[in-house]
Structure 1
Amino acid sequence: MTLGARPHAAMNIQEVKSEKGIIAWLVEDHTVEIVNIGFAFKGGTKQDPVGKEGMAKLMAGLFIEGAGHYDSGAFQVKLDHAGAEMSLDAQSDDIYGSMCMLSKKQDAAFGLLRLARDPNAIAQRKWLRAIYGAHPCSRPGEGTKESLPGITPSDLRAFHQAIFARDGLHIAVVGDIDANTLRERLDQLFGDLPEQQTLVPVYDVAPKLGQLVEENYDLPQTSLTLAWPGVKPSAPDFYAAVLLNDILGGSYLTSRLYEEVRQKRGLAYHVSSELTLDSLLVTTETRSDCAAQTLSIVRDVVKQMAQQGPTGAELKAAKKHLIGAYAIDQLGSTRSIADRLLDLQIHKADVDYNQRRARSIGRVTLKQVKAAAKKLLSAEPAILVVGP
């Protein structure tokens, strides 16, 4: 239920405000009779109380297990008849929901969504505890065999009341619906929510680097994860770091890591880097007898990047890739457009971000990327090794 890629410049993002003050970003597209709605409430698994880990995900999992006077089976039948797909998922900072529906059946689909609103893990946990300590980031969002049995219906109701409120709500809608109709739908869907959330404050945390975490498993391959400092989108060197990541390992077939680990030595099928708010992560898997060599090469590539930075040719290619691939990868379908618009709102971007992003990337100099490489990659990384 998607559309083909659309020209980047043709996107017209409207900010729609309902009578009750609920705001959504809308991109109208009447070429196919489909409407995609994405929404998010601030407050995800980090809001799980100590000893009740898994509560946010459990609540999300129960989202469409019956609603109103419908049990689970009847609710799924109603969704099918309405030509709709619905989901809800809890992540660390937000609870995300989505619905895809046929525009001609949106009355029934929006009504069902309104009803539904009312009701390698061991190693990863060890890694998160090591780099984040007692911070909520280190607690398992999926819960544990000890925490899940202790979550009661009253816990879920209290969690629901704390999270589902207007001041933490973001909405993106893409497809065959106009602004006037959407205004009515927003109030129908979210208008009776309370005004304010009651979240537990969660402080920022930087990962504790410079440590080795090992988990022995009898596996045919060894998994390697390395973490260096990350960059927030509000930082002045954010786009320099984005370009650095693309050159290092973000661009799958042309990155330095891919060239050295995969192309030249055939040590791994996949190796990549990812820039997050608090870390720059490099991940790969290799044969267990090649793990030490692979780790050494990854560290050498990163060290060289920290000391010398990228070349002018690498920066030029990264700019071309990031500007061109963004429209194709992120904005190619109604669902991906809605997801991207929602993500922009969560990170406090403006409606014209898509246009400004390309200009911001284009203005980054080689000197700035080299400075970002030295700043981020000179630190001693945290390393996770999972395997025999």
Structure 2
Amino acid sequence: MDIQRITSPGGITAFLVEHHDNPLIALRFAFRGGSAQDPQGKSGLAYFVTGMMDEGAGDMDAAAFQEREQELAVHMDFNAARDLVTCSYQTLTARKEEAFDLLKTVLTEPRFDEDATERVKGQILAGLKLDQNNPVNVASRAWSELAFAGHPYGLPIKGSFETVPSIMPDDLKGYADRVFARDNLIVVAVGDIDPETLAKDLDHIFGGLPEKSQLAPVPDATLAAGPVREVVEMDIPQSIVQFGLQGVMRADPDFLPAYVLNYIIGGGGFNSRLMEEVRVKRGLAYSVNSHLFPFQHAAVFMGRVATKNEAVGESLDVIKEQLSRIAREGPTEEELEDAKRYLTGAYALRFDSSSSIANQLLFLEVEGLGVDYVHERNGLIEAVTLDEVKRVAHRMLDADRLITTIVGKPVEAVPDPAHAMA
């Protein structure tokens, strides 16, 4: 895969993977900021903005804009995360000029009409009501609130029933004006477009944006000091348990050993320790897993188990026992080699379509890894040693400090009353 770095005459840079087998162009771009830029009392603002991006722009109201999208057969999907607002945009080569005109209008002239704002607000509030009945969503939200209390990461990305109704068109416009800027922009293009054409199109699409963003400073986050456990009661036969610890930042030299370690612990499906011990040997749960989340201002090692109410306490005991054991002894050489074999072999599957290539390259740029990382990555994984993984396991896996949220009606594992909620 030939990855080129393109710089437009106006100074906008982008990664390009050029291929002309199909008459399609996939753009993936991001603005740094995300929900961490939501003002006090306006959590959910970034998420609201992304829901409004196809609700009218320029001289087109929502109905006219969406009709134009269909005419051009473009795919446009904006999303908000903790640290980013992202967009996936795809067009046929034959409609590129008109499609890129439309995207330019979306970014530089979003309307945020009052009627569309109220309609989308209603959709968000309806979604929040549905989320209240989804134990996975409830556990995840409760965990973030517990782990990141007092930090923007502790606020819900989608907002709340208290904050969303207060968001008005001026709030939406203010967020877009502050965050959607050229100094804050990361772009990737994949498909049927050459470097010279892309360079001109970058200026056409993004050149009308403000040169400088106005991001509020976001402090680095320190997770709550565990152990702490919170129960959210929900009348369901199976509890969802989310547990986590301080992780390893992406720029930390220990990140790749931690990444391999996570595969061994719970990221490797049936090849993982937790799946073997919790499900296969004891039949306590259908699923158990773990992940690493390196945000811009914090890093988290997080896991989740779904188990019947009667088995919550035993499942957590087994999980803590396994984390403590790996922290103490580390994984085996065989586990390490199996993990490295899978992680290197599966890497190519992340590049099986134009959209997935664009997505992978976008996050390489977000994380500051550079264009050569695609070719270097498997070698770096192969170079991870058992001693490195053992050191990271000892550093990261303090099972006695777990931050845990439980959604359901657990029979065991009742928390300290100070941390319980109904």
Same fold (TM > 0.5): yes
Cα deviation, 1:116-167, whole Å, max 9, x if unaligned, reads: 1231355544332221111011111211222122222222222111101111
1:346 paired to 2:346: no
Cα deviation, 1:190-237, whole Å, max 9, x if unaligned, reads: 011111111110011121132111111101210111102201121111
Of residues 345, 353, 356 in structure 2, which corresponds to 1:336? Answer: 356
Give the CA RMSD over aligned residues.
1.3
Alignment match, 2:328: 307
Aligned-pair distance for 1:378? 2.5
Cα deviation, 1:337-388, whole Å, max 9, x if unaligned, reads: 1011111111111110112211211111111101111110125211111111
Cα deviation, 1:168-204, whole Å, max 9, x if unaligned, reads: 1000111111111111110110011111111110011
Alignment match, 2:396: 376
Of residues 155, 172, 175 in structure 1, which corresponds to 2:191? Answer: 175
**Structure 2 length-normalised TM:** 0.87
Instruction: Report the residue type matching 1:346 in the other structure.
Output: V
- Structure 1's consecutive aligned runs of 4 or more residues displaced over 4 angstroms after TM superposition are none
1:152 paired to 2:146: no
Alignment match, 1:246: 263
Change (3 A) 1:123 1:324: closer
Alignment match, 1:366: 386
Alpha-carbon distance in 2 for matches of 1:234, 1:54 = 28
Alpha-carbon distance in 2 for matches of 1:267, 1:348 = 41
1:14 paired to 2:4: yes
Alpha-carbon distance in 1 for matches of 2:264, 2:96 = 44
Alpha-carbon distance in 2 for matches of 1:259, 1:293 = 15
Aligned-pair distance for 1:299? 1.2
Alignment match, 1:283: 304
Alignment match, 1:115: 105
Aligned-pair distance for 1:73? 2.3
**Long gaps (5+) in structure 1:** 1-10
Q: How many residues align?
A: 377
Alignment match, 1:222: 239
State the secondary structure of the residue aligned to 1:270: strand
1:76 paired to 2:66: yes
Alignment match, 1:163: 179
Alignment match, 1:138: 154
Alpha-carbon distance in 1 for matches of 2:328, 2:351 = 36
- Kept in 1, the 8 Å contact 2:324–2:398? The answer is yes
Instruction: Report the residue type matching 1:41 in the other structure.
Output: F
Of residues 268, 273, 286 in structure 2, which corresponds to 1:269? Answer: 286
**Structure 1 length-normalised TM:** 0.94
Cα deviation, 1:22-74, whole Å, max 9, x if unaligned, reads: 00101012111111100000111111111111111111100011221222222
Instruction: Report the residue type matching 2:221 in the other structure.
Output: V
Instruction: Report the residue type matching 2:71 in the other structure.
Output: H
Alpha-carbon distance in 2 for matches of 1:261, 1:29 = 46
Alpha-carbon distance in 2 for matches of 1:126, 1:268 = 21
State the secondary structure of the residue aligned to 1:21: coil
Alpha-carbon distance in 2 for matches of 1:280, 1:130 = 15
Instruction: Report the residue type matching 2:189 in the other structure.
Output: V
Cα deviation, 1:255-276, whole Å, max 9, x if unaligned, reads: 1111112222222222111011
Alpha-carbon distance in 2 for matches of 1:378, 1:148 = 37
Alpha-carbon distance in 2 for matches of 1:124, 1:234 = 25
State the secondary structure of the residue aligned to 2:188: strand
Alpha-carbon distance in 1 for matches of 2:184, 2:170 = 22
Identical residues among aligned pairs (%):
38
